[in-house]
Amino acid sequence: MELPPEAVRTPMPTVIDSENFTPRLLSLLSNSLVYRESRALRSRFGLGTNDWRVIAAIGVRPGVTASEISEFIAMNKAIVSKSVNVLTARGLIVQAEDTGRSRHLYLTADGTQMHDAMLPISMRGQEIILADLSAQEVTQLNQLLRRLLARVRELEVDDAPDEPVDADSA
């Protein structure tokens, strides 16, 4: 194989320790659980994890809007919109329009049955994570994760650029 002359051929002197980099480990765990869940949901119901998350959010908050779902589950609005369209077409959710632009979303009777059928697959991920933890460790883990999530949201505000970055000058 012939490499271009500008190709860097040696490892960088300062790199992330991938075996101890916590964001990577969290990401790997999350990706593994989502992949397992998505395969099972697609196989059994013809719906994916994003669709499940929308159904679950509406189950928790009937009458929620797509924008509120996006914020609640930290998912891109376009992805939520696609799931809303799929779930509406399948008769699992309905949209009630109010006088404004917002459409409030509700599960249908079929949607509540789908929720209940999908729930055990999602809960299995919880079981996998918590299997080797004591009740006290589970409480501590959940408190820590909530604290970290709050801190990340604070950092997002702090890290917001003051001015758009010009791709040509970067």
Q: What is the pLDDT of residues 6-38, one digit of tens each?
A: 999 998 999 999 999 999 999 999 999 999 999
CATH class of the domain at 25-118: mainly alpha
pLDDT tens-digit map of 73-108: 989 999 999 999 999 999 999 999 776 777 899 999
pLDDT digits (tens, 9 = 90+) for 114-127: 999 999 999 999 99
Could you write out the DSSP letters of every residue in 124-167? Answer: HHHHHHHTT--HHHHHHHHHHHHHHHHHHHHHHHHT--SSPPPT
Buried b (16+ CB within 10 A) or exposed e, 5-44: eeeeeeeeeeeeeeeeeeeeeeeeeeeebeeebbebbeee
For the chain, how big is the Rg over CA atoms in Å?
21
pTM of the model: 0.80
The pair phi, psi for residue 55, each rounded to 5°, is: -60, -45
Confidence of residue 152 (pLDDT cuts 50, 70, 90): confident
Name the amino acid, one letter, at 140. Answer: Q
Contact 105, 84 (CB under 8 A): yes
Q: Tell me which residue of 73, 66, 77, 56 sits closest to 102, measured CA to CA.
A: 66
DSSP SS3 for 94? strand
Which pLDDT does position 160 carry in this prediction? 57
In the chain, where the domains are located: 25-118
Give the three-class secondary structure for 104.
Answer: strand
